[in-house]
Amino acid sequence: MELRQLHYLTVIAEEGNLGRAARRLFVSQPALSYALKSLETELGVRLFDRHAGGVTATAAGREVTAEAVLTLRQSARVTEAARRHVRGEAGELRVGFEASGAGELTTRARAEFARLHPGVRVVPKRYDWGQEAEAVRDGGVDVAFVWLPNDLTGLHTEPVHTEPRVVGLPSGHALASRAGVSVLEVGNEPLLWTRRAPREWVDWWAVNPRPDGSSPVWGPTNDNVEEMLEQVAEGAAICFAPLSMTRYYARPDLTWVPLTDVEPLRVVLAWAEGTDDPLVRGFARVVRELAAAPGGGGGGRAPGAGAGAPGAGRGGCLNLLRV
C-alpha cells in the first residue's frame, strides 16, 4: 500500500465519480480504476459500489477512507517536520485566524515577525466558525489566534486579546441610530446560524440562554462571513460580532451598535502541545510583546455615542452559528 493509493482513494470518495476523480488527479480513468481495484484486492474488501452515476463508498470504504485522510495528514506533518529541521530558521510559518482574528494585533504580529525573520514566509490562513483550533491539531497551521470558547485539547494557549461585541443591523433598522442596545432588546430578532460550529461556541455567541432565560430566535443559515453580510444587509436577520469586524468588513448597507450587557470576545494564541519549533516560539514571543504593550491586547474601544447611527461604525459581521 502506498500513500499515492490512499490519496487516490480520498479523491474518489470526494468526487463520487471515477472520471471526475481522474481529471482532478491528472491520471487516466483506466489507470485510476486499476489502482482502485488493486487496493481493494490488497485489502480484501470492496470499497465502492459502482453504478451508472459513478461510485458510492461502502461501509468499509467509508471507514478506510477516514483512516486514509488521517494517514495522509500525518504524513504531511512528518514531511514538514523534517523540512523545518533542514531549513533551520528559513521556511514557512502558517498562522491561522478566524474572520478578524485578534484585530490589529493579528496583522501587526505577522508584519513584525516577518521583519525579524526575513528568510521566513509568513502565510495567513483564514478559517470559519471555530475551525482554527482544529487546524492547529491537524497540522493545517503552525499557530493560530483562537476565538473562545473552543476545544483547546492538545493545545498550548496564551490569552492575548479582548474586545467588545456589537450587533450588526441593516442600515434602515429601527435600532440603527441607538448608541447601544441590550441583548434583550434584540431578543425577537432572528439570528443567522450554521451547522459547522460546536454547540458551545454557537450558544456563547448567541448569548443562549439570554439573561431572562429565553432562547434566541434562529434565522437563516450561512457558511461564511460573506454569506452573512448579504443576509444582514437585505434584512433577513441580525448578527453579533466582535468590534474589529466592523472595520475589517466595511459595507455602506450595514450599521453596528454596541451590545451593552454581554461579555467580550477573548482570543488566545494556540499551538500544539510539546511543539519545539523555533518559528512558533519566535512568533509567540512577538505576539506576547505586542499584546503587553499599551493598547496591544485590549482589542479596541466600543463605539461612542451615536456610533450606531447610519453612516457610522459600518462593516461586515461575524456569523452567528447554530448546530
Which residues make Cβ contacts (< 8 Å) with residue 263, sequence separation at least 6? Answer: none
CA Rg value for the chain: 23
**DSSP state string for 83-124:** HHHHHTT-EEEEEEEETTTTTHHHHHHHHHHHHH-TTEEEEE
Q: Which residue in the block uniquely carries the three cell numbers 486499476? A: 34
User: 250 or 30, which is more confident?
Assistant: 30
Confidence of residue 83 (pLDDT cuts 50, 70, 90): low
Angstrom distance (rounded) from CA 243 to CA 170: 16
**What is the predicted pLDDT for the residue at 258?**
95
For the chain, where do the domains classified as CATH 3.40.190.10 start and end?
Answer: 89-162+265-292, 165-258
Q: Report the CATH fold assignment for 165-258.
A: D-Maltodextrin-Binding Protein; domain 2 (3.40.190)
Domain with CATH 1.10.10.10 in the chain: 3-82
CATH number of 3-82: 1.10.10.10
Question: How high is the mean pLDDT of the chain?
Answer: 86
Instruction: Copy the grid coordinates of residue 155.
Output: 493545545
pLDDT, tens digit, 9 for 90 and up, residues 187-210 = 999 998 778 888 888 899 999 999
pLDDT at 1: 84
Pick the CATH number of 89-162+265-292 from 3.30.1490.20, 3.60.10.10, 3.40.190.10, 3.20.20.70: 3.40.190.10
% of the chain exceeding 90 in pLDDT: 67
For residue 312, the model assigns a pLDDT of 35
For residue 317, pLDDT over 80 is answered with no
Split at pLDDT 50, 70, 90, the class of 297 is low
Question: Within 10 Å of residue 33's Cβ, how many Cβ atoms?
Answer: 17
CA distance between the termini of the chain: 38
Q: Give residue-wise pLDDT tens across range 162-181.
A: 999 999 999 999 999 999 99
Q: For residue 124, is the peptide bond before it cis, meaning its omega torsion is within 30 degrees of 0?
A: no
Helices 29-43 and 18-25, packing angle to 10 deg = 110
At 322 the pLDDT is 31
Report pLDDT for 262: 95
Band (pLDDT 50/70/90 cuts) for residue 310 is very low
Higher per-residue confidence, 110 vs 76: 110
Read off the pLDDT band of 84 (50, 70, 90).
Answer: low
Query: How does 144-172 read in b/e, with b if 16+ C-beta sit within 10 Å?
Result: bbbbbebebeebbbeebbbbbbbbbbbbe
